[in-house]
Structure 1
Amino acid sequence: MSLDVDYYELLQVDRTADEKTLKTSYRRLAMECHPDRNPGCDKSEAKFKAISEAYDVLKDPQKRAAYDRFGKAAFENGGMGGGQGGAGFGDFSDIFESFFGDAFGGRQRGPARGADLRYDLEISLDEAFHGKEAEITIDVASACGTCEGSGATPGSGKRRCNLCGGHGKVRAQQGFFVVERTCPTCHGRGEVIEDPCKVCRGEGRVDERKTISVTIPPGVDEGTRIRVAGRGEAGPNGAAAGDLYIFIHMSRHKVFEREGTTLFCRAPISFTTASLGGEIRIPGLDGAEHIIIVPEGIQSGKQLRQRGAGMPVLQGRGRGDMVVQIDVETPTRLTARQKELLREFRETETGAESPQSAGFFDKLKGIWDELTD
């Protein structure tokens, strides 16, 4: 099982983004995480390599078209050289036929590989933090158990196709041209089943409902794609199965919001704590209680950062940070004694205690004086 992130998501652009938008987003992200600006940071170096690979593919129209249709599978096993400095097609006829059909010929091939499947899985932020073993149920075409995927009744066999002579292709004269097409009798396999299996009717596969266990690693995020090799649909007549792709979606958390590996939350504090300083305790997703030191005189909107208290780094080491935004709460239910103390405090105010408000009203007074002169 392998895991990768969509190239468009890496570059933070829509799938319809034009060349200029791609370039602008790539330059911005590359500048942010370039190794020279983040010396010694393995995370930044890995992200720089990933976005460079994504941009190398999407800036090239041919590579982008192949990626849009096949995903990263277009560049595996000798395909187009995504991220490798522009290596060409590993097998040009494969891609050419996938876009234009068989009309221009091509080598004989066996049964087509089974289709890939997609499954959307929603998990909580806590599950994304710790990882989990998930069981998913899918309806999938699986290899027929009666004929073991061959499509032939047990004990019977296959014979060479009489129409194409076992080549899988037939030729026809059209004016000055000779056009080669897939054989309509054997569908390109070169063989014909003499006695088709009664269960799968010669297809070699039947529809089944399967439950599959999948490991969700710690640190996954919205849009993360997990590939489970060989768990897609079985190919016809014993061909290889496709892959299963699981796309992760995050449910909303009651307290925390997430941006990459950083966790954000808002913490209301009393105006006395804001004035005199103190500490607040935030329970983290790791089960620990994180003590946040509040400096005296803090203002609403100020953010306090707790290093290493955020989300795990996906397929890496370490954790991000927790950022707590302070909201100073004005008291609404005061006792008579508390009101008396506040009045005493107000009588001792000089304006130096709240320089921002004093400065603001000084500016307003200056504007008024200008208008009335």
Structure 2
Amino acid sequence: MSGKADWATKDYYKELGVSKDASAEEIKKAYRRLARANHPDSNPGDTAKHEKFKTIAEAYDVIGDPEERKQYDQIRSAPVGGFGGQGGFDVSDLFGQRGGGAGQGGLGDMFGDLFGGGRARQPRPQRGSDVESSATISFVDAIDGVTISLRLTSDAPCVSCRGTGGKPGTKPHICMVCEGAGMVASTSGGAFTLNETCPACGGRQLVYDDPCPTCGGSGRGMSARSIQARIPAGVKDGQKIRLRGKGSPGENGGPNGDLFVTVKVSPHRLFGRKGDHLTLEVPVGFDEAALGAEIKVPTLKHGPVTLKIPAGTPNGRTFRVRGKGARKADGTNGDLLVTVEVQVPAVLDQPSREAVQAYREAMAGKPLRAKLFEES
């Protein structure tokens, strides 16, 4: 595409076959008609039509944009004499290219070099994609919360073209498929019309004739980075944590995506987890269960506590120790659930055997299974 200094010598209205007073809709229709007829994909090997396509794209980039068209019309209507006297001036003066160059206060300073003088359309911001990862933490860290370091490899803008998808140094033009909207309508055979990302420009609104050789025109690459992630207290095994803004970088000023971390919690040798409560299985002797006892049991972080076992406690009974469990979302703690397991000795010495034998004889008149044989 040409620079703005060439506008005075180029008739973009003539290139599109419209009058200077044509409406924006008339200009758009003319561009679409000519673009379809001359697009390189429809005319492989036809150099003349390829050049025509570039010319009409350049014309539409300028007069298809209200602000660019206004500037173009002002430049085209300015008196150009070239003799530097009272009656006119040189176009190069208009762009500050005479004498001290473009940096000496001409309109070139004001306009700059937007896409090489083409349409100053900025692609819409695009949100970065979400990233998923996993992390394994200890049981204690899951209860207390922990900050971990994660090494991520994720999708990111191509380092060569900076996400544009075009060969570095080349200029873009408006996508003819979506007409610069970045979205196209899709009916999918149903009664509703849905908008979806334009397949031709990938939502960038602009396209390049020469794709970036590094990314093949996708505008995307891979990025490796390390981040610090805070895992909250009370996280459960298999829970997915969302870290906002820690995903892939956005494009054109768009926000970053999010990072989703699936947490795997290593088992503890003593404690288990039941919601916000911790669980613990404690062995007790037959005599302790039968006669009652006070025993000490460990907690995860608060030191041992004394648990009272009532006489006649059956195997598998669960006792609750309040406030010694996992951290809840409101900052309080759950409970510790202690389940007793009555132990039966595998081997008895002679005194113990005699004591158990005496117990059996004492219970002989109270059979445990008598109710199993009662008539219903």
**What TM-score does the superposition give when structure 2 sets the normalisation length?**
0.54
Match of 1:297 in 2: 312
Instruction: Summarize deviations over 1:172-209 as a string: whole Å, max 9, x none.
Output: xxxxxxx9997665444333458766655554442122
Secondary structure of 1:308 counterpart: coil
The correspondence for 2:263, drawn from 234, 241, 248, is: 248
Q: Which residues of structure 1 form unaligned runs of 5+? A: 1-107, 172-178, 352-357
Indicate the percent of aligned positions where both proteins have the same amino acid: 34
Deviation of the 1:260 alpha carbon: 0.6
- Distance in 1, matches of 2:351 and 2:243, equals 67
Q: How does 1:1-373 map to 2 (within 5 A)?
A: 110=124, 112-145=126-159, 148-150=162-164, 158-161=172-175, 166-168=180-182, 186-193=201-208, 199-200=214-215, 203-235=218-250, 239-313=254-328, 315-349=329-363, 358=366, 360-363=368-371
Match of 1:64 in 2: none
- Distance in 2, matches of 1:162 and 1:344, equals 99
Instruction: Summarize deviations over 1:230-267 as a string: whole Å, max 9, x none.
Output: 22233456644321111223333333332211222222
Greater Cα radius of gyration, structure 1 or 2: 2
**What TM-score does the superposition give when structure 1 sets the normalisation length?**
0.55
Q: Which residues of structure 2 form unaligned runs of 5+? A: 1-121, 186-192
Asked if 2 retains the 8 angstrom alpha-carbon contact of 1:129 and 1:285, the reply is: no
Amino acid at match of 1:128: A
Deviation of the 1:214 alpha carbon: 0.9
Secondary structure of 1:214 counterpart: strand
Deviation of the 1:163 alpha carbon: 6.9
- Distance in 2, matches of 1:167 and 1:326, equals 69
* Change over 3 Å in CA distance of 1:300–1:154 after alignment to 2: same
* Change over 3 Å in CA distance of 1:312–1:182 after alignment to 2: closer
The CA RMSD measured in Å over matched residues stands at: 3.8
Deviation of the 1:159 alpha carbon: 4.7
* Change over 3 Å in CA distance of 1:316–1:145 after alignment to 2: farther
- Distance in 1, matches of 2:372 and 2:161, equals 88
- Distance in 2, matches of 1:348 and 1:163, equals 96
Asked if 2 retains the 8 angstrom alpha-carbon contact of 1:148 and 1:238, the reply is: no
- Distance in 2, matches of 1:282 and 1:190, equals 67
Instruction: Summarize deviations over 1:92-144 as a string: whole Å, max 9, x none.
Output: xxxxxxxxxxxxxxxx9836433212223333322211211122222212234
Deviation of the 1:216 alpha carbon: 0.7
Match of 1:6 in 2: none
Alignment size in residue pairs: 248
* Change over 3 Å in CA distance of 1:153–1:140 after alignment to 2: same
Asked if 1 retains the 8 angstrom alpha-carbon contact of 2:123 and 2:252, the reply is: no
* Change over 3 Å in CA distance of 1:184–1:200 after alignment to 2: closer
Amino acid at match of 1:132: V
